[in-house]
Amino acid sequence: MRKEMNMLEGPIWNKILLFVLPLAATTILQQLFNAADVAVVGQFVGKHAMAAVGSNAAIVGLIINLFNGIALGSNVVIARYIGQGQEDKIGKAVHTSVVFSVLGGTVMAVIGELVAGPLLVALDVPEEIYDLALLYLRIVFAGLPVVLLYNFESAIFRSRGDTKTPLIALVLSGIINVGLNLFFVIAVRMSVAGVALATVISNLLSASLLFVALVRRDDNLKISFRELKIDFRILSKIMKIGLPAGIQGSMFSIANIIIQSAVNSLGADIVAASSAAFNIEILSYYIVNAFGQATTTFTGQNYGAGNIKRCRRIFAISLSMASGITLFVSAIIIAFGEKLLSLFNGEPEVIRIAMIRIIAIVGFEILNVLVDAPSGALRGYGKSVSPAVLSLVGICGVRIVWVYTVFAKNPTFDVLMAAYPISWIVTSTLIFIAYFIIIKRLTSAEK
């Protein structure tokens, strides 16, 4: 029998670190493999192809963030059942999650194929990159079922503290992804279609590896083909927590789509620079997000066990660790930003513009910690609606208002990028207020 992480007893900080490191490595590697798409076409095809791939990041992120949030609902529900010792319901939640991910991914793939063209038009994608962007987006949409399956499978493993298995699957599939990128683009000369196809194939491999691992397990996370069906009562619990979390994640993407549209209006060079910067800046966010997910999972188990005092300690420790590590990583990214950007495109003007974005976002990433940490804790308590609503106001609302007011009067890249730190300040303030109000109520109820 495998040794599982005991989140209910003993020291907290070291277990959070053991949880976070593989999870952060997984998401960072996932992004690096995605960045390989941009880097390969940027180096071997040209900046227009790189811009075409990068112009789709906000659209794909919107869908992935929505279902990642719902997958987090699976994580919380399963973790809570583990804390409560409800063994029979754990298996039902696992099978419900797997079936729902495939069905949901298939529906989103069909919808995506139908709206791909109008979406790019709405985003004001420059005419010179439109056809390439559309081709890339259609292929990526076709692979959504396996992308979402992998994310839900990862959530299942994380519910017991296992973040290493998803990492191993991702490393193996990522190596295949990079190899196929080079083969399709250099040998077969498929341009953006090649990197999109490589991404879909590698995602299929990672999802398949985790599925086989779940089938071969010998505990209540084991998948049985006969049990692959949806338990709608459990699905409703997953959706109650996961849907608001998904909406919260989508708020970032919706706002980013608005910002991407503004970026697109500034020309292909700025689109290419913004795309390169995004693939670097996002690395610091994945550190923040990993601590947020750790807070959610640890809180979910301990809240299920009725230990609110330990839940509060989890929040304090996670917040402190996330802040320190984020500041360290952000400093490294800014210090080596120009060298990292040159991997995508060596043009001095592209690098100069990209550094504007990196400084505006990575330089203030610590503010994002103050958004994700309390949001993660609230989701662990099953209170997902509050952070979702406040993110709608603070993230989406502030950025949209900024684009259509301040940026509209001063349409420069510098002004546009200022929307990020300002929205984080507003949102973190609102979510922290909500966190302390809800914690006070839960503590009073416990007494």
Contacts of 141 (CB under 8 A, 6+ apart): 108, 109, 112, 113, 116
- Examine residue 346 and state whether it is found in any structural domain, yes or no: yes
Per-residue pLDDT of 27-57, as tens digits, reads 777 767 766 776 777 776 777 777 777 777 7
Give this prediction's pTM: 0.73
Q: Taking the mean position of all CA atoms in its chain, how far away is CA 394?
A: 19
CA–CA dist 225, 394 (Å, integer): 43
Sites in the chain below the pLDDT cut of 50: 1-2
- Examine residue 2 and state whether it is found in any structural domain, yes or no: no
- Examine residue 228 and state whether it is found in any structural domain, yes or no: yes
- Examine residue 105 and state whether it is found in any structural domain, yes or no: yes
The count of C-alpha atoms lying within 13 angstroms of the C-alpha of 439, restricted to the half-sphere facing its C-beta, is 21
Which of these, 266, 280, 413, 282, lies nearest to 341 by C-alpha position? 280
- Examine residue 32 and state whether it is found in any structural domain, yes or no: yes
Are 70 and 154 a contacting pair, CB within 8 Å?
A: no
**Rounded (5°) CA angle 104-59-398:** 115
Q: How many domains does the chain have?
A: 1
How many other C-beta atoms lie within 10 A of the C-beta of residue 9? 11
- Examine residue 252 and state whether it is found in any structural domain, yes or no: yes
pLDDT confidence of residue 1: 39
pLDDT confidence of residue 426: 95
- Examine residue 126 and state whether it is found in any structural domain, yes or no: yes
Per-residue pLDDT of 354-376, as tens digits, reads 999 999 999 999 999 999 999 99
The domain of 168 spans: 13-446
Which of these, 354, 347, 428, lies nearest to 387 by C-alpha position? 428
| 86 phi, psi to nearest 5 deg | -90, 80
How many other C-beta atoms lie within 10 A of the C-beta of residue 409? 8
CA–CA dist 296, 75 (Å, integer): 8
Q: Taking the mean position of all CA atoms in its chain, how far away is CA 124?
A: 25
pLDDT confidence of residue 410: 93
Query: What is residue 5's DSSP assignment?
Result: P
- Examine residue 5 and state whether it is found in any structural domain, yes or no: no
